[in-house]
Structure 1
Amino acid sequence: MLLYKIFFTMNFFQNIQSFLLIIILLFSFVNCQNIPNPRSQQTSSLIGNRLYFFSGDLSTTDSHNDSASNVTNEVWYLDLSSSFNTATPPWRKDVGMPIGYNLGASCVSPIDNSVFLVGGRMYIPNTANINLGSSPVYVFNSNISLWTTPNIIGFNSSFKMRNQIQPVIDNYGKIYTFGGTNYTGFNASYVDYNDMNILDTTSMTWSTLAIYTNAPPTFVSYTATLLPTGIIVYIGGYKDTLTRSIQTFNTKNYNWSTKVAGGDNIGTRVSHSAVLTQNGEIIIYGGSIWNDTTKPATPYIAKLDTSSWMWSIPNLSQINSPQLCDHSATLYGDYMIIAFGQIPSKSSMSYASLSNNLYILDVKSYILVTSFNPNQTLPPNKSTTNQTPSPDNNLNNYLIIGIGVAVGIVLLGGFSVVGFLLYKKQNQYPKFIPTPGTTDRI
């Protein structure tokens, strides 16, 4: 009887272990379906409570973008209406773009919340073929997950494939895009530009301003930040070695001017990010030095007071801060959400180390937090919080529900099998009736 009990116990636990292993594998499969691959050179936009990420380059072996076969057309987003941990962000996938896309930028219309993707390198999805015949602008309606290409009046054909740019959009729906390059990484000739292009999204008319004598030189991979005063502030980029010299453009009178910022010493940088806080400070983050993309810019974080034009370095541990370039950064209330990008210190001239991590910086305390709580930050625009679920999102929800039902069936079936085996084992032998003096029990 003792041998039987040992044999039965061993088989019982073996069945339980096998069953639990199946469940673990099933849940691992479910979780892996909604995690985007590491990437860089994507663009992001905040629409209400949804933070969208468009496209990007997935390649780690092509640091110079000489091939576009790994440029994706994926669209991912995070729902910021609920709390989550940065280790397991609640990623959701939306309908993909009609083209592969990188090194461009997106603007959200203040009129109807449409996303305008301007410029960038565009490719036929899943191929290395450049999409020269594509539109220079794609429009995304997040309410119905629909991509369209608008008919633009007076478009400047030299802007086609313009990349490494940062457009901004004003309250009247006008998009301002300066400079850029048409370099595509295919060993073809290219031109760097210093013209200002304006797209009026209300009438879909395009205009290119004459190049003024005081316009900045050609430069790319900069950041552009629009202040409430209508001034666009350009920081960094491939233009010169003096980051203290900041170019500004007045959208009201179309005049350029130069600001020489004081304060802390801020090094040169490209492929960094910039956000504007509610108190008028521009926070720049990450990037690499202008003549070596494998070396991180220093300091890694800095802020510019646009009322005094003074630089300062926040008291944030440079050791614990993630080193990123070609990443995304978006301000949501008091949270600066940093995502994806390339890790300069782990990259070389022939290899790019990519990230799919999410970091959240509290811009009031300058502390990296691991939990996102929407109740601790104020949404920038409560009027745009209502979102209609997209078809792809519904599909994802149905898939998750379906897999959940399948897991439930497997759980129920597994417990039924284990229960049946237990019942069968217990009834396979005659009942043992204890008598006085015995110590065995079942």
Structure 2
Amino acid sequence: MKITTLVIKLTIIINVTLITFTIAQPTNIRCCHGSTIANNRLYIGGGTIGPEDNETVYTDDFFSLDLTVQFNTSSPFNMPYKVHPNIIVKSDANTLVYAIDNEGGSIYFFGGFRNPQNSEGNGIYRYSLNIMYIYNATEKFLHISPNLAPYQIYYYATAMLKTGVIAYIGGGKAPNKLYNIPMNEILTYDTYLSKWDIKYASGIIPEPRQGHSASIGNIYLTYLHQMVVFLCNGDENAKESNGSYPSFAVLEFTNDKFVWSTPDLIGLPSKFRIFHTSHVFGDYLIITFGRNKTQHRVNTIDLIDISNKSAYKFVTNFIPPGAPPPSPPPSPPPSPSPSSSINIIIASVLGSVGGLIVIGFTFFLIRRCRYRNVIPTPSG
């Protein structure tokens, strides 16, 4: 019920539009969607679907992935999806990101597009790009933070830290989105003090990027996966098909300081993703849908096992927390040693000889008994 209410409220707040949407299915290719985890389910809704050359096919579907059962990501058609047809989520591609505080009482909106009017004269409303909007879910009212952000950003990633601070990572600056924000420059918003700040991270700084995702994990680890950047110098020749290095990085937040690291990622798939979403659940980083470097949308899910900090790796089997691990395959019988082989050969020979002797002796006794019982007859 809470998820339904939340989605309906977000729909009312975000969308005042008469755009024509199409109903899709979980297995459709898509990008630029929204997602969240609640009650052991990954809820996914909206986004852009259809051919990569058409950016105006939006979907109003809403479905979830069951995270209490085991599944394999090799085929999108065998995933434990459930469609929720009674919840309408209508949203075209945008960078609007919201975060919920630890108590679940406030929802924070920042960024996004303000599109021009359509042919019917109806505006597609998005929030201003440097104003923080706060929706009080308990009292059911929306108010605006009096403090403006230092600058306007697009295509960033965000994570709500357990300290009540929202971290905005990467992205491009307004007005043309072509100026990439350095990855060591972390824009933060303190939800308790209603205060913006800029913090600078140390460590191995990743290349700047847009269209990436961030997911919060244990000990304030933010996992960034499969990111992309407009490689440009502020001109009109930015290209989306260039990937940033590395594609996977970890941002650790301890003692009010951010530190970047770039651990190895084993089994990196060839499928590159941008405009996707990602979430940490149990020992997995779950990456859903998105678009690859050639702007082709995908309908698959990637899993990264993050249980071992020294060996992050891609996997295809999802095992929910608390479930027994799959049984290992039976081990083959041990190979016999050379001495054992010789002993087996000798025993086989002796056994064969002994068997022949027993058979011959038995045959001899049978013949002897047979001739002993024969009564001789007189000749002539």
| CA gap 1:288/1:184 in 2 versus in 1, 3 angstroms | farther
Q: Confirm or deny that 1:198 pairs with 2:134.
A: yes
The equivalent position to 1:312 in structure 2, one of 247, 261, 286, is: 261
Residues in 2 aligned to 1:374 and 1:230: alpha-carbon distance in whole angstroms: 28
The equivalent position to 1:164 in structure 2, one of 77, 82, 95, is: 95
* Correspondence for 1:94: 84
Structure 1 segment 115-194 matched on structure 2, within 5 A: 163-172=94-103, 173-183=105-115, 193-194=129-130
Q: Confirm or deny that 1:80 pairs with 2:67.
A: yes
Percent of aligned pairs with the same residue? Answer: 28
Deviation at 1:53, TM superposition (A): 0.9
What runs of 5+ residues in structure 2 fail to find an aligned partner?
Answer: 1-23, 174-178, 231-237, 325-380
Q: Deviations over 1:78-133 (max 9, x none)?
A: 11111111123222222154353233xxxxxxxxxxxxxxxxxxxxxxxxxxxxxx
Match of 2:242, SS state, is strand
**Paired residues of 2:51 and 2:296 also in contact (CA < 8 A):** yes
Residues in 2 aligned to 1:376 and 1:297: alpha-carbon distance in whole angstroms: 36
- CA RMSD for the aligned pairs? 2.7
Residues in 2 aligned to 1:52 and 1:223: alpha-carbon distance in whole angstroms: 18
- Whose RCO is larger (CA < 8 A, sep 6+)? 1
Deviation at 1:233, TM superposition (A): 0.6
Residues in 2 aligned to 1:357 and 1:341: alpha-carbon distance in whole angstroms: 9
Structure 1 segment 13-412 matched on structure 2, within 5 A: 36-62=27-53, 65=55, 67=56, 70-87=57-74, 88-95=78-85, 97-103=87-93, 163-172=94-103, 173-183=105-115, 193-212=129-148, 215-239=149-173, 240-241=179-180, 242-290=182-230, 291-307=238-254, 308-317=257-266, 319-320=268-269, 322-344=271-293, 347=294, 352-365=295-308, 366-375=312-321
Deviation at 1:203, TM superposition (A): 0.9
Q: Give the number of equivalent residue pairs.
A: 275
One-letter amino acid matched to 1:254: S
Residues in 2 aligned to 1:375 and 1:319: alpha-carbon distance in whole angstroms: 24
Deviation at 1:282, TM superposition (A): 0.8
Q: Deviations over 1:17-62 (max 9, x none)?
A: xxxxxxxxxxxxxxxx975211111111112121111122113243
| CA gap 1:312/1:99 in 2 versus in 1, 3 angstroms | closer
**Paired residues of 1:183 and 1:191 also in contact (CA < 8 A):** no
Deviation at 1:287, TM superposition (A): 2.6
**Paired residues of 2:216 and 2:279 also in contact (CA < 8 A):** no
Residues in 2 aligned to 1:238 and 1:301: alpha-carbon distance in whole angstroms: 19
Residues in 2 aligned to 1:197 and 1:234: alpha-carbon distance in whole angstroms: 15
Deviation at 1:312, TM superposition (A): 0.5
**Paired residues of 1:165 and 1:222 also in contact (CA < 8 A):** no
Deviation at 1:376, TM superposition (A): 5.6
Residues in 2 aligned to 1:185 and 1:310: alpha-carbon distance in whole angstroms: 43
One-letter amino acid matched to 1:73: D
What runs of 5+ residues in structure 1 fail to find an aligned partner?
Answer: 1-32, 104-162, 379-442
Residues in 1 aligned to 2:242 and 2:316: alpha-carbon distance in whole angstroms: 26
Q: Quick check: which has more Rg, 1 or 2?
A: 2
**Paired residues of 1:264 and 1:313 also in contact (CA < 8 A):** yes
Which has a greater percent of helix? Answer: 1
Deviation at 1:227, TM superposition (A): 0.8
Q: Deviations over 1:128-174 (max 9, x none)?
A: xxxxxxxxxxxxxxxxxxxxxxxxxxxxxxxxxxx412110113311
One-letter amino acid matched to 1:283: Y
* Correspondence for 1:114: none
Match of 1:279, SS state, is helix
